Amino acid sequence: MATHAQRHGSGQRVDPDPAVPDSADPHGADLHSADPHGTDPHRADLHQADSCKTDPDDGGGCVAHVPIFRALSAADRAAVARKAVPTAVSKGDVLYRAGEPVSQLMVVHRGAIRISRLTSAGRERLIRVLGPGDFIGEGVFLTGDRPDHWATAMDDGQLCVFRHEDLAGLVADHPGIGLGMLGALSRRLDETEHRLAALGSADLDARLADYLLDLPSERDGATVRIRLPMAKKDIASLLGSTPETLSRALARMVRGGVIALHGTRDIDLLDADRLLALVGGR
């Protein structure tokens, strides 16, 4: 059983910055309600240290659990931690918008970050969700390009923030960090290609089966149970569908004896072989 973990939730509405291209709010905010002074109550200010809500944690705990730093010695991790700015974020905070300059690497220590884009029709499309140990801002660091997506805090949490100029020095002193970033990007590309291949199927049941099989599972005797890590509307967005169509697909699997639902999030996989058959044997 694959164990590709994802954490999901829902962000609050935020007002876009009218000066930023492609800035229609993916969370549905009314463009006409934007603050004329350009202030956004859900805009996370990561650019000024005095405005950061700093957690008592000195950053060391964050660094110790980040895969790209894990191979470093304790002394080197301590040096990295001194460059980290522990920054608290609240649910709905916008870390950055599509087209905005980004000058930090943001590592998730606690909570989850929603990465989304807008369709040509102006609707939000969930791309992925980042959990503890994941990071954003590396693409800008490596290429200098501005992001083509939005990053929004899905719940209250904490980031470890590194300025790109500090990160450049760390990579120069510890090349393993750069290699770790490239490895993480490669894995993310593999996951994206896998999901794109699944989305190429016109059959939602196949896409849903593929998604369910990739979730972490627990076994209790003969029962294999998974837990949906996000709301069904977000799963529908991730799979290129609608909540109503997703609910019908789940109902078909229940009627067919493939899965059993428990509450809103827990699912028993009653017939994993049939799920595999739906996706072509993987």
Q: What is the CATH number of the domain that holds 187?
A: 2.60.120.10
9 in any annotated domain:
no
User: Residues 120, 210: one domain?
Assistant: no
Rounded to 10°, the helix 164-173/175-199 angle is: 110
37 in any annotated domain:
yes
User: Residues 121, 209: one domain?
Assistant: no
Q: Is the confidence at residue 3, as pLDDT, over 50?
A: no
CATH number at residue 273: 1.10.10.10
Q: Is the confidence at residue 103, as pLDDT, over 90?
A: yes
Q: Structure tokens of 138?
A: 């590396």
Decide if 153 contacts 93 (C-beta within 8 A).
yes
Closest CA to 274 of 261, 255, 262, 259: 259
125-134, 160-169, 184-193 — most confident range:
160-169
Closest CA to 80 of 201, 180, 206: 180
Stretch (H or E) spanning 158 = strand 157-163
Mean predicted lDDT score pLDDT of the chain: 77
Q: How far apart are CA 241 and CA 140, in angstroms?
A: 30
C-alpha gyration radius of the chain: 20
7 in any annotated domain:
no
Alpha carbon distance, N-terminus to C-terminus of the chain: 11
User: Residues 216, 178: one domain?
Assistant: no
Question: Where residue 164 falls among pLDDT bands split at 50, 70, 90?
Answer: very high
User: Residues 158, 274: one domain?
Assistant: no
User: Residues 114, 248: one domain?
Assistant: no
- What's this model's pTM, rounded to 2 decimal places? 0.64
Tokens 């002074």 sit on residue: 37
Question: In 108-199, where does DSSP find H-type helix?
Answer: 138-143, 164-173, 175-199
Could you give the 3-state DSSP secondary structure of residue 108? strand
What's the pLDDT score for residue 142? Answer: 82
Percentage, residues of the chain above pLDDT 70: 74
User: Residues 54, 137: one domain?
Assistant: yes
What's the pLDDT score for residue 198? Answer: 63
Name the residue with higher pLDDT: 94 or 196: 94
Question: Where residue 203 falls among pLDDT bands split at 50, 70, 90?
Answer: confident
What's the pLDDT score for residue 42? Answer: 56
Range 93-115 average pLDDT: 92
User: Residues 63, 115: one domain?
Assistant: yes
Query: Which amino acid appears at position 200 of this protein?
Result: G
User: Residues 36, 70: one domain?
Assistant: yes
Q: Structure tokens of 40?
A: 């956004």
How confident is the model over 62-86, as pLDDT tens digits?
787 787 887 788 888 888 888 999 9
What is the span of the domain harbouring residue 153?
31-197
18 in any annotated domain:
no
Closest CA to 237 of 281, 277, 201, 204: 204
77 in any annotated domain:
yes
Range 250-257 average pLDDT: 95
Could you give the 3-state DSSP secondary structure of residue 156? coil
What's the domain count of the chain?
Answer: 2
14 in any annotated domain:
no
